[in-house]
Structure 1
Amino acid sequence: MGLTSALNTSLGGLSLNETSIDVLGNNIANAGTNGFKASNVLFTTQLSRTLSVGSRPTTSNGGTNPRQVGLGALSASIRKDFTQGSVTNSTSPSDLAIQGDGFFILDGPDGQVYSRNGNFELNSQSLLTNQSGFKVQGYGVDEDFNLVTTTLADIEIPLGDLNVAQATQNVQIGGALLPTGVLGTQGSILSTANLTDAGNANAAITGATLLSDVEASIGTPLFTVGETLEFTPNKGGRSLDPLTLLVTGTTTAADFADFLDRTLGIQNGSGIPNDATTGAQPGVSVTAGGAFQVVGNTGTVNDIAITIGNITSDGATVSLPFTKTETSNGESAITDFVIFDSLGEPVTMKMTSVLESRSSNNTVFRYFMESADDNDGDIAVSTGTITFDSNGNVTDFTPNTFGISRVNTAADEMDVTIDLSDISGISSASAGSTLKLTLQDGSDPGTLASFVIDETGIINGVFDNGIIRTLGQVTLARFSNPQGLLEFGNSTFQEGVSSGPPFLVTPGNFGAGTIRAGSIELSNTDVGRSLVDLIVASTNYRGNARVISSVQQLVDELLVLGR
C-alpha cells in the first residue's frame, strides 16, 4: 500500500511540475509580446491518509499526535499577474498604453474581446484596429463633432478624407482713435436735377412714380422695362461692389432710391443724428421737387462720389448726373477684414468709425459695419457706438453682435460677436485714427492631417487649416475579477463565467487608468525570476522521478525475495 501510494503521489508531482514548466515556458516565450500578462501555478495539498487521529492526554499518558501521510499535491489555480508592465515610447501615434487597470475593447469576429496590447493601426477604411484586424471600440461623434456616449462604435480617423471649415463666431478689433479730431456733423449730399413723371402730365416725380416714366427731359425716358441697372459708386475713395436692379413694369422711383441706398450702404436710425445741413436722416430719397437726393453718413472715409458712368443699363451709361453739394466730415478710420461662413467661404467686411460727440469726461465714436457679401441685398450690416473715458479706455460699446445673411448660399446664417475693448481712445494728430483686426476664430476649409489622443482617450483631429476637432474617444472595460477572464488568443481575453460583466468607463475614471498615446505596454514577464522558477520546477520534477525510481528498486527487491 505504501509503495503504491508513493508511486501515485510522485506521479502527481511529475504532472504538477510539468504544468509549472509549461506555464513558465509560456511566460518566457511571451517575454517580447506587448501587453502580455505572465502566469504562475499555485499548488495545494491533496487529501492525506490518516494512520491515527491521536489521543487526548490522560492522567497516565501525555497524549499522542495524529499520524497522516500526504497523498501529494493538486494545482489550485493558474493565476494571471495583471500588474502593470513597463511602458515604452513607440513611433506611431495610434499605439496606446494603459497606465492602470482596464482593458481595451475590441470588436472581433466572435463578438467583443478585451486586450492590454495597444499596438493599433488604421486600416483601409480609416478604422482603428489591432494587428489581427479587430476593431477598437469607443465613442463616436455626431455631425457637429460632439461625443455620442450612448453606444459603442468603431473608432474612425479619416486622415486626408475629412474636410471641415469653421464659421467665425468672434471678432476682435484693435487700433487707436483720435479724440481731438473734427466732429462728424455732416455727410455727403448729392442730388440729380428735378425729374418729371411722364405718367402724370410731366409733373415732378414722387416715390410712387413708375421708374419707366421718369424723364430728365419731356419725351426722353431714362429707364425702360426689362433693362438691368448696375450701380458702381465710389465711397471713401474706393469703388464699391455693384448691385443690380431689374426694371419691371411695377418698379417705382422709391425702389430705385432704395437700390441706390443699399448699394451705398448708408445707415440710418439706431440713434444716428440727422445731417447738420439738411436736417434729414442719412439715406436716398425723392425730394418734393422731384430729384433723387443722397445724404451720406458722416466721416471722411464715408464720403460718397457718383459720376457719369457709375450707373449703367446693360452696359450702356445712364445719363443721370448727380451734383455734389456737401462733403462728409469728421475724424474717421477704416479697416477691411475677412471672416468665414460655415462652409469656409470668405466674407469680406469693412468697418469704419467717425468721431460723433465729445464732452468733458468722455468721447463717443460711431462705427459702421458693411459687407458686399451680405446676401440680404444691402451692404449695410450694423452700426453702433464706442465710448471712451477721459483716460482713453473703452467704457462701453454697443451692440456687440452683428449678423450676416447667407441666404443665397448653402452656408448657415452668421451671428458674430465683436469685441472692441482693445481699441485705444488715445492717438496723436500725426498718427490719426486707425482700426485693425486682431482676432477672428473662423477658417477656410481644411483636411484632417494628423491626430492626437490624450490621456482620457479623447481623439483630437488636427486639420491643415489649424482647426482641432474631436473625432471620438477610446473607452476601457473593467472587471470585478479579471482572473476569471478567458484567454482568446491574439493577446485578447473573453468574458468568463467568474469574471463578471464588463464595466465600461472612460480613461481616468473609476480606477480604469489613463492612456498614453505613442506608447506601448511591454510584457510583464520577469525572465530572471522565470528562469529561477524553471530551475526549481526542474529540480522538483527530478526529485519526483527519483522517488519513482526508488520505489521501483524496492519493488524489485521484493520480487527477488519471492524467488
Structure 2
Amino acid sequence: MAFSTGLSGLNAASKDLDVIGNNVANAATVGFKQGQAQFADIYANSLFGAGNNTVGIGTRVAAIAQQFTQGDITVTNRQLDLAISGNGFFRVSNNGTIAYTRNGQFSLDKDGYIVDSNGDHLTGYLAGPNGIINSVSPVDLQIPTGDLAPTATTKITGQFNLDSRSAVNTTPFSITDPNSYTNATSLKVYDSLGNSHDVNLYFTKTSVDPTTNNATWTVYASVDGTTQVGTGPIGTLTFNSSGSLVSQTDSTGAAVTGPITLPTIAYGNGAASGNLTLNLSGTTQFGNSYTPNTLTQDGYSSGRLTGFTFNADGTIVGTYSNTQSMVLGQVALANFNNVNGLIPLGNNLWAESAASGIPIVGVPGGTNLGKLQAGAVEASNVDLTAELVHMITAQRNYQANAQTIKTEDQLMQTMVNL
C-alpha cells in the first residue's frame, strides 16, 4: 500500500513542478494567466463504506486551475497594442472559429484586418459611412483604406464686429473696386466633388437712420473672387444704437430671423450647384476695428486615412488628411460566468465549454467588462518570487514521497530477510 501511496505523491509533486515550470517559462508572456495544481486525497471504497480508521491511499490531481487575476499594464506606445483593464477577453476569429485571449498584441495584415500573431482576426462592430456603429453582431474588424468622401459646404457661420465709426459708403458695389465696400473677408468652401472655392464676404455701411440711429449694412458675396453671388446683395443687417443686430433681410428683401439663404452658386467643373446659408448671429457694430471673431463652414474635401486610435470604450477613430476624423468601428469583448471553465488552446487562446457557459459579448466599459488602454499590454500575472518559493516546497514534497517509498522498501527487505 505504501508503495502506491508514495508513487501517487511523486506523481503529484512532479505535476506540481510541471505547472510551476510552465508558469516560470511564461513569466514574460503577454496576457498569460498562471496555473495552479489542485490535488485531492484518495480513499479505497468498500462494500459497506469507509470506517473511522480508514487509511488513505495517496493523492491525485483534481484540476489545473488558471488564475484569471489582472496582470500589470505595461505601456509600449505601440499603436496596435491593447490592454484590458478589468474583466473580459478579446474575441478573435479564425475563419469563423471563435477563440478568446487577453493578449492584445495586434497588427494589420495586407488586407487591413486587425490580427494577432496567429493571424486570427480581432472582432468587433463596424461603422457605417456616417460613423454610426452597427452593433447587431460582431464581425472581423477591418480598417478601410479608401478615401473619405467629400462633403459639400451647406452652412457658413460668422461672427463679426463691424466698426460703427466707418463712414457711409455710396459707391456702387463692385467686387473689383475696393472703394465700393467697407470691409471684406474670405473663407474656403467645398463643392460636391471636394474642390475648394474661395467665398468672399463684403460688408458695406449704406445708411444711418437720423431718428433711431439704426445703422444698415449691406452684405455681398463672390466665388473665387471673379463671380458675384446673385445679382445684388445677399442680405442686409440692421444694428441699433447699442450696436446689437436687430433685423436681417435676404437677397429678396424678405425679413429673416435665422440664417440668410444665399442665391444658388454654380461651381462648374461637374460639381452640383451649391445651396448655402449664412448665419451671422452675434455680429455687432461697436466703435472698434473690424474683426472676424469666428468664421467656419461645414464642408470638407476628400481625405486619405493617415492614422487611427483606440478609445477606452473600444471605438476606433480614423484621422484623415483633410483634418476630419471618423469612427471606423468598435472592439468587442466577451466574458463568461465561469472563466475557469474555459479550455486552454495554447498560443494565449481559450475556447468556451459547457463549464464556462456561453460568452456574454459587449463593448469595453459595459456591464462586467473592463476598459481598453491603447499603446499598452497586460503582462503575465506570474509572481516569480512566489513561484520560486513554491518550487522549493514542491521539491521537498517530491523528496519526502521518495523517502516514503525508500522506507517501505527497507521494511520489505527486512521481512524477506526474516
Shift of 1:131: 1.0
Alignment-derived partner of residue 26 in structure 1: 22
Look up the SS of the partner of 1:70 in the other structure.
coil
Q: Pick which of 512-521 and 362-371 moved more.
A: 362-371
Alignment-derived partner of residue 132 in structure 2: 146
Alignment-derived partner of residue 402 in structure 1: 261
Equivalent-residue separation in structure 1 for 2:291 and 2:390 (angstroms): 81
Q: Which of residues 430, 439, 459 is equivalent to 2:296?
A: 439
Shift of 1:445: 2.9
Shift of 1:87: 0.8
Q: Which of residues 382, 386, 393 is equivalent to 2:237?
A: 386
Look up the SS of the partner of 1:47 in the other structure.
coil
Relative distance call for 1:401 and 1:495 in structure 2 (3 A) is farther
Alignment-derived partner of residue 165 in structure 1: 150
Shift of 1:434: 6.8
Q: Which of residues 508, 512, 517 is equivalent to 2:374?
A: 517
Equivalent-residue separation in structure 1 for 2:266 and 2:225 (angstroms): 8
Relative distance call for 1:394 and 1:378 in structure 2 (3 A) is closer
Alignment-derived partner of residue 39 in structure 1: 35
Equivalent-residue separation in structure 2 for 1:7 and 1:66 (angstroms): 23
User: Is the 8 Å Cα contact of residues 488 and 494 (structure 1) preserved in structure 2?
Assistant: yes
Alignment-derived partner of residue 102 in structure 1: 88
User: Is the 8 Å Cα contact of residues 453 and 459 (structure 1) preserved in structure 2?
Assistant: yes
Shift of 1:45: 2.1
CA-to-partner distance for each residue in 1:403-429, whole Å, 9 max, x for gaps? Answer: 65579676666554533234330246x
Q: Pick which of 81-90 and 392-401 moved more.
A: 392-401
Larger Rg: 1
Q: TM-score normalized by structure 2?
A: 0.85
Q: Is structure 2 residue 332 aligned with structure 1 residue 472?
A: no
User: Is the 8 Å Cα contact of residues 175 and 226 (structure 2) preserved in structure 1?
Assistant: no
Equivalent-residue separation in structure 1 for 2:243 and 2:343 (angstroms): 73
Q: TM-score normalized by structure 1?
A: 0.65
Shift of 1:352: 2.7
**How is 1:57-456 mapped onto 2 (pairs within 5 angstroms)?**
66-109=52-95, 111-158=97-144, 161-179=146-164, 235-237=174-176, 300-301=180-181, 332-354=182-204, 355=206, 358=209, 359-360=211-212, 362-371=214-223, 379=230, 383-395=234-246, 397=248, 398=256, 399-402=258-261, 404=264, 416-427=276-287, 438-456=295-313
User: Is the 8 Å Cα contact of residues 334 and 434 (structure 1) preserved in structure 2?
Assistant: no
Relative distance call for 1:479 and 1:434 in structure 2 (3 A) is closer
Equivalent-residue separation in structure 2 for 1:40 and 1:406 (angstroms): 74
Equivalent-residue separation in structure 1 for 2:151 and 2:43 (angstroms): 75
Alignment-derived partner of residue 342 in structure 2: 485
Relative distance call for 1:427 and 1:47 in structure 2 (3 A) is same
Q: Pick which of 403-412 and 444-453 moved more.
A: 403-412
Letter in 1 for 2:278: I
Look up the SS of the partner of 1:500 in the other structure.
coil
Q: Which 5+ residue runs of structure 2 have no aligned equivalent?
A: 249-255
**How is 1:524-535 mapped onto 2 (pairs within 5 angstroms)?**
524-535=381-392
Relative distance call for 1:162 and 1:178 in structure 2 (3 A) is closer
- What is the number of residues matched between the two proteins? 406
Equivalent-residue separation in structure 1 for 2:334 and 2:222 (angstroms): 55
Letter in 1 for 2:406: S
- Percent sequence identity is 29
Relative distance call for 1:415 and 1:503 in structure 2 (3 A) is farther
CA-to-partner distance for each residue in 1:416-470, whole Å, 9 max, x for gaps? Answer: 4533234330246xx6x67686333433332211111111111111112211111
Relative distance call for 1:146 and 1:110 in structure 2 (3 A) is closer
Letter in 2 for 1:132: N
Equivalent-residue separation in structure 2 for 1:451 and 1:437 (angstroms): 29
User: Is the 8 Å Cα contact of residues 337 and 437 (structure 1) preserved in structure 2?
Assistant: no
CA-to-partner distance for each residue in 1:93-132, whole Å, 9 max, x for gaps? Answer: 1110000011011111460111100000111112111111
User: Is the 8 Å Cα contact of residues 336 and 360 (structure 2) preserved in structure 1?
Assistant: yes
Look up the SS of the partner of 1:173 in the other structure.
strand
Relative distance call for 1:342 and 1:141 in structure 2 (3 A) is farther
Shift of 1:339: 0.9
More strand by share: 1
CA-to-partner distance for each residue in 1:70-99, whole Å, 9 max, x for gaps? Answer: 222232221111111111111311110000
CA-to-partner distance for each residue in 1:239-258, whole Å, 9 max, x for gaps? Answer: 9xxxxxxxxxxxxxxxxxxx
Shift of 1:378: 6.8
User: Is the 8 Å Cα contact of residues 127 and 328 (structure 2) preserved in structure 1?
Assistant: yes
Equivalent-residue separation in structure 1 for 2:412 and 2:105 (angstroms): 58
Equivalent-residue separation in structure 1 for 2:207 and 2:43 (angstroms): 104
Relative distance call for 1:410 and 1:550 in structure 2 (3 A) is farther
Relative distance call for 1:91 and 1:129 in structure 2 (3 A) is same
Shift of 1:151: 2.4
CA-to-partner distance for each residue in 1:177-226, whole Å, 9 max, x for gaps? Answer: 24465667x885xxxxxxxxxxxxxxxxxxxxxxxxxxxxxxxxxxxxxx
Shift of 1:141: 1.5
RMSD: 3.3
Shift of 1:382: 7.6
Look up the SS of the partner of 2:304 in the other structure.
strand
Equivalent-residue separation in structure 1 for 2:393 and 2:292 (angstroms): 83
Shift of 1:172: 2.9
Relative distance call for 1:414 and 1:473 in structure 2 (3 A) is farther
Shift of 1:134: 0.7
Q: Pick which of 445-454 and 25-34 moved more.
A: 445-454
Letter in 1 for 2:201: M
Alignment-derived partner of residue 15 in structure 1: 11
Alignment-derived partner of residue 315 in structure 1: none
